[in-house]
Structure 1
């Protein structure tokens, strides 16, 4: 079970560092050395595979990556009482609260996806996340009562949060004094995109970066092939590959209900909370993978679609033209569904 500081990260996609043999020969002039850097952040792991990195650059780049991710953690963490996000959460003020441009951008994108998913992707769901034991609060010893659920739900709702851009400054504003924002659904995606921007600033044009289960790539891998990512089968007992995709120049993220859970009163409790019911999801969809122009978008969409369940999610996918791959429980096995947009990324013969 992957427990991060966000408690929502699922490592459901994995690097295929050297690409997959598709029968195409690669000339030796296309090959280049790959350097893999990795470390810990936000209670999970980050990784960067970089092509043509000079030996003298390795340690400097590692330090820059770690410093930047530590800064992202200090911005978004709900596990650090002094993070920028938690200072906003702790404040009961309903006047505009100054935030960084990055924070405003993350919240703006989250509110947009929240609206497109009919409120299923709700960054104000923190009180319910905490109630069910997937936030900084301890895991409950018994199932929360309906009274507790209703009380937590009363403190949630996207309509209670707004972003204000005024004279070049950004603010968040809430109209409930105890509104609690939890950016766990998009934090890893933002951090992966931020890593990609760092690569570009450093003059690196061939890389694959990940933070938890959110990834972004650019250019070709060490073999001169597009970067490829494997979607794992929905089990916490093996790392078998379900499908493989080329994601060159895109972000990818997976949300699932099969790794981050616990048992309570004889039931499996998923970390994915439905804002409408205030309870963990109960439907048959076990994972959703989304490919988007940014990892932040993919990270937000996968959570919202996961909450909606297979049929409602398919409707949104068709309406929005999203590249989505779903794995759905059926009897003793699983079935898959993908949108036409996702199929264009699929490596032939690997589904």
Structure 2
């Protein structure tokens, strides 16, 4: 299994996987044409505070990364239900699926969107407005020219950036009568900075609908969990130390967060960058400038009411940097966050008041 999560029967402990390109087109060991899913289910019998409970796990591959699910159930396996959800989301939102709905939209075909697409699009527009454009699902062309997309890095010129700016921005696209309407047909959408969180939410909703009280859903490191683990405790999520060279998820843990009933996502710069003529370029690009960000924020972990919001906010905070991220976090009571930043060559942590650390 390639998931960053690891399990012991004593305590369910998960690493929040840092997916390098959280705001760019997926370049993460992905087949270009179709989704590749391998689903494996096992059962865990553990002693919880209420006695013996049956927990099952489902592991596999989706959206160019791994997923890992643990849930309590004495009934039938939910493999087929999870597999169906993953396939529907891939057929709607994957830019690497040539037959997907979002691919058709990017090719300016006359298609009606489905509920999955509509939900992600509308939430993306909301957060684009809320973030003053720092979170932007139409900014994918910038990642292409900087070498974080499918192609090689080009020599980036101010003229090239200016030409792309002409067709980037969520004010240039809208939904109307079930279809995507663009003011410039060169505009394309990529929802990878929010889709994995949304996938975790959709699976969690299905579990809720089926009356499952205890579960953890992790898709590409974005998590939604509820209830307790097999030990009868809240779920523990490990946050990686954002050190260059720390390429193995869970290899070096900075801290462990207790979580239940909320979504969590982590974004960072330390594992994905390009170096040219001795200069390192971050994979996080500011849509306002079209250029990689330069600041001391290394990793942003966000906890919100749903994983989709946490996913997008983690990207937003990595775009705006430490000071602005702290301002946003402290101005609201519906999110918590852990920010890891560099100060004079040392790692420093900012954590919101509501964050619960497993000490």
Question: TM-score under structure 2 normalisation?
Answer: 0.82
Aligned residues: CA RMSD: 2.3
**CA offset at residue 171 of structure 1?**
3.3
Structure 2 CA distance for aligned equivalents of residues 266 and 70 of structure 1: 42
1:114 aligned to which of 111, 128, 151: 128
Q: Deviation of residue 335 (structure 1)?
A: 0.6
Q: Which runs of 5+ in 2 are unaligned?
A: 1-17, 29-46
Return the offset for 1:139: 2.3
Q: What is the match of residue 35 of structure 1?
A: 56
Q: For residues 27 and 312 of structure 1, what CA distance do their matches in structure 2 show?
A: 42
CA 1:8 to 1:158, structure 2 compared with 1: closer, same or farther past 3 Å?
farther
| Equivalent residue, structure 2, for 1:47 | 68
Mark the CA change 1:223 to 1:189 in structure 2 (over 3 Å): closer, same or farther: same
SS in structure 2 opposite 1:334? Answer: strand
Between the two proteins, the alignment pairs up a number of residues equal to 317
Q: In the alignment, which residue of structure 2 is the partner of 1:272?
A: 284
- What does 1:1-351 correspond to in 2, within 5 Å? 6-7=25-26, 29-54=50-75, 57-58=76-77, 61-91=78-108, 98-135=112-149, 137-140=150-153, 142-164=154-176, 170-235=178-243, 236-237=245-246, 239-321=251-333, 322-341=335-354, 343=355, 345-347=356-358, 349=359
Q: 1:53 to 1:262 in 2, by over 3 A?
A: farther
- Report the Cα distance in structure 1 between the residues aligned to 2:278 and 2:320, rounded to whole angstroms: 24
Aligned residue number for residue 37 of structure 2 = none
| Alpha-carbon spacing, 1:46–1:6, altered in 2? closer, same or farther (3 Å) | farther
Local SS of the residue matching 1:118? coil
CA distance in 1: counterparts of 2:51 and 2:305, whole angstroms: 26
Of 274-283 and 227-236, the range deviating more from structure 2: 227-236
- For residues 92 and 146 of structure 1, the distance between their equivalents in structure 2, rounded to whole angstroms, comes to 31
Ranges in structure 1 where 5+ consecutive residues have no aligned partner: 10-25
2: CA distance, partners of 1:148 / 1:103: 30
Please state which structure has a larger fraction of its residues in helix. Answer: 1
- What is the aligned partner in structure 1 of residue 12 from structure 2? none
Q: State the TM-score, normalized to the length of structure 1.
A: 0.83
